[in-house]
Structures are given as C-alpha cells and as structure tokens.
Structure 1
C-alpha cells in the first residue's frame, strides 16, 4: 500500500500547511536582512543626501573649458547630487549637473554645458522633446520644452555656455533658479 495520499485526497488544507513554513522562512529572512518595514501611513521621506555644491561648482569652473555660474539658491533648497557628463553627437560637449531639493521637497536640476541646445536637450531628456514656448527672465530668453506627462526643460544661451533647468519642480522654482543663474557672473577659471 502506498504511503502517500492519492492526488484526489489532497486539498486546500494540505496546501496551507505546506505554505506556512515557507512564509515563516521569508519573514525570518526579511527580519534578519532588515529590508522591509511596516508603515501604515505610507512611505516617509528619508534624509536628503549631502552634497557640496560649492566645491563642485568651483572644481568644474577650473576643469571645464567654459564659464560656470554658481547661483544663490533660496534658503531651504538643499543640494543633493552632482555629476559631469559628456554630451555626445554633433554639437556635443561637456556638462556639469547639480541637483537640488526645494523647500517643498521637489527635485530641480541645473545643467551647464558647452554643447549646443540641439544636442543638450535630447541628451538630458532621454527622449524627443518639442519646444512649447519661451520665458523671458531678466536679460535671458529661455526656450521651454515639454509635453504631456514629461518634465519641463528650460534652456538659455549664455554665450559660451548653455544653461538647462529640468525636474518635476513647479514652474515657479524654474523661474527662481533661472533668475538666480542670470544674476551672477561666471566663477573665475
């Protein structure tokens, strides 16, 4: 006589008893790894990473072959990231990127580059964008690129440098950053 139950006699209760050890093992692994938590109110914002934007602006102004501006950002804006990249393609060049978290917790990125606008916008956007208008901020005209469901991009020509602003921040933050960039002289190289 076989020791196993016939397949017809196996039911949901047998399935539950076999899953219980698997669930307990998964919970033990999660507790040991501390990789999950229970948050009934939803996710909470963690600390903003620290980034020394002043040092990055100064370093990029010495190392890159075009003028770099260090804008005065409003109180409550925290620099959280920075990078340098090479804009590929015809009209490409170097770029300096500094990200900020606004007082409302929204991200906004400032990119300064010697690449052409035609090369810089698709490089930063990662997908085609279309001009949707312009904004006049101080002495500079900013070309606005956007569309439905995409982050806005503002670009202005500052002579040897193209300045680009992007991110999910509201247009008022774009205006604030564009005003701050336009009101400062380039750092000494």
Structure 2
C-alpha cells in the first residue's frame, strides 16, 4: 500500500488541515510581536490633536496680506488642525485654514482666502461642485455648493476676503460658524 495518497485523492479538506497550523503559527508570532489586537467593541475615538488656533489666527493676521477674522468658537468645539497654502489661478492667492472638532465629534473647517470663489471652491473640494442654493446669515449671503456625495461647502464674499466653511458637520454647525465669523471684525496685524 502506498504511503501517500495519490494526488487525485487530495482535496480542499486536506489543504485546510495543512493551513490551520500555518495560521495558528502566524497569529502566535504576531501576538508575540504585539502587532495585532482584538477589539470586540469596535474602534473608539482617540484624543483630539492639540492645535493653538488663537496663535494661528494672530500669526496669519500679521503675516498674510489680507484681513483675518477670528470667530468666537462655540462651547465644546476644539481646534485640531491648521494650514496655509496658495491657490493658483489668475493670480496667486494666500489661504489659511483652521479645523475644528464639534461637540458631537464632527469635523468642520474654516478657510479664509483672497482667492475668488471660482478658484477657491475647486481648490478645497474633493470633486466637481455646483451651487445648490444660498443661506442668509447675519446679513451675509453664503453660497452653498453640493456635489456627488461630497461634503457641503459654504462660501461668502467679505469684500476683502472670501470665507469658506466645509466639513462633515451638520448644517446647524455651519450656521453657528458662519454667524460667528460674520459677527467679528478682522484682527489687527
């Protein structure tokens, strides 16, 4: 009688029994190396990164060539990010962005720029956008842009700068931020 099964008699069950020790050995090695973990409750939110928005607003007011507005942020919101960049278009335009995490844990960002609305929206958007309406907040018109499943974008012309709001936060938070921005005067450089 042959010692091995003929190849024609080997099947998926034989392969599964061969792989089980390999999978167990892989899990043991990954566990020893602390490269895997099991979390039955799913992911949990981590700490919000710390970002000094007050310092960023003051610095941008000194360094950028246009008026910067520092709105009074609602209670429970935390600044978590900031950046500066230039929008290419008919002319170079500086842009400053500060991001916030709302009390409900949603992201919203405030962008201020000298770029035109036509140049700023495509620069910020992650896909094609088109105007879907307008909101009247504090005597200012905010043009609302929508798109295929993308986050909403609100833009208002403050004459000396364009203010853009976007993020995953609900419209109520957009309204809070738009109201706060419209209520303040630009910072002194």
TM-score (norm 2): 0.90
Moved more, 143-152 or 110-119: 143-152
Cα separation, partners in 2 of 1:87 and 1:35, compared to 1, 3 Å: farther
Residue equivalent to 1:19? 19
Alignment of 1:78-157 (within 5 A): 78-157=78-157
Structure 1 gap ranges (5+): none
d(CA) in 1 for partners of 2:32 and 2:89?
48
Cα separation, partners in 2 of 1:134 and 1:50, compared to 1, 3 Å: same
Cα separation, partners in 2 of 1:73 and 1:32, compared to 1, 3 Å: farther
Give 1:117 shift: 0.5
d(CA) in 2 for partners of 1:11 and 1:133?
63
Per-residue deviation, residues 70-107 of structure 1 (Å, max 9, x unmatched): 11111100111111111122254111111101001111
Residue equivalent to 1:67? 67
Q: What secondary structure is seen at the aligned counterpart in 2 of 1:81?
A: strand
d(CA) in 2 for partners of 1:92 and 1:143?
23
Alignment of 1:49-68 (within 5 A): 49-68=49-68
Count of residue pairs the alignment pairs up = 189
Give 1:29 shift: 4.5
Q: What secondary structure is seen at the aligned counterpart in 2 of 1:133?
A: strand
Give 1:165 shift: 0.1
2:76 is the alignment partner of 1:76:
yes
Give 1:8 shift: 1.2
d(CA) in 2 for partners of 1:120 and 1:35?
42
Residue equivalent to 2:170? 170
Residue equivalent to 2:8? 8
d(CA) in 2 for partners of 1:88 and 1:33?
47
Contact 2:138 2:179 in 1 (8 A): yes
Contact 1:82 1:97 in 2 (8 A): yes
Contact 1:92 1:120 in 2 (8 A): no
Cα separation, partners in 2 of 1:83 and 1:4, compared to 1, 3 Å: farther
Give 1:155 shift: 0.4
Residue equivalent to 1:188? 188
